[in-house]
Amino acid sequence: MSGSASACTEGEGLLVMGAQDRNFACSNSGHLLAAGKRVRWKDAASDLDFPPVPFPSDRVFAVAGEPRLRALVLRHHERLRESSVGHLFARDPIRFAAGVERVADFIVEATGGPTRYTLLNGPSCMRTQHFPFTIDEQARDVWLTQMLLALDDVGFPDEIRREFWNWVEAMSIRMINRRTMRAQPNRYPWPEAPIKLRPLMTASPRPVMCPR
């Protein structure tokens, strides 16, 4: 986000859009606006690419074990609650704990453990279930950064980090539902992820976006 956009206030849209946001990157300069004698077609395109997602084998559950996977999800959510996306998570401790348990059920089942998530919740539909919550590219980066730190917090076994990480790294792109840039989201494959995400580990709070 540009600095000027972060300073916008509700109801000031028409001014902000044109006058102050020239520093947004623009990839449209090849298209002349002025009309000619004929209709001109601008090509089809697509916005957000979802890369393939490597769902893990049951080796992840076998090596990590259920207690460590559940501890990972709890630490991750404790970290998220204190992060710049903390407003997306329940303040009420009962609700927070229930949410953590459901996510842990998901992670446990998807890595080869008991199928409690599906039994209790049905098909997972992760993207659809996240639609009520505004998740932009930067929120995904925060989510991944806190996951990386949580892996260390719980001593996640080195031999399954790549398989686990490359799953959540790719899957997390599908949770993005608010675009703030033309470029595709950043990729953080293992083993480069800790280096690429390091700047985010000490980042100051994100700039505020314009309200809807």
Of these, 36, 158, 195, 205, which contacts a copy of itself (CB under 8 A)? 36
Q: Which is nearer to a copy of itself, 41 or 204 (CB)?
A: 41
| Residues of this chain, 6-35, that bind a copy of itself according to CB under 8 A | 8, 10-19, 21-22, 24-29, 31, 33-35
In three-state secondary structure terms, 178 is strand
Q: Which is nearer to a copy of itself, 124 or 152 (CB)?
A: 124
**Residue 34, both tokens:** 């002025």
Query: Would you give the distance in Å from CA 204 to the centre of its chain?
Result: 18
Q: Count residues binding a copy of itself (CB under 8 A).
A: 97
Each residue 87-126 as x (binds a copy of itself by CB under 8 A) or -, in order, gives: xxxxxx--xx-xxx-xx--x--xxxx--x-xx--xxxxxx
Which part of the chain contacts a copy of itself (CB under 8 A), choosing from 39-47, 68-76, 151-159, 190-198?
A: 39-47
Least distance to a copy of itself from the beta carbon of 135, Å? 8
| Residues of this chain, 120-179, that bind a copy of itself according to CB under 8 A | 121-134, 163, 177-179
Alpha helices in 58-125 (DSSP H): 59-64, 66-81, 93-110, 116-121
The rounded radius of gyration (Å) of the Cα atoms in the chain is 20
For 36-46, b/e burial (b = at least 16 CB within 10 A) is eeeeeeeeeee
Q: What are phi and psi of 68, to 5 degrees?
A: -70, -35
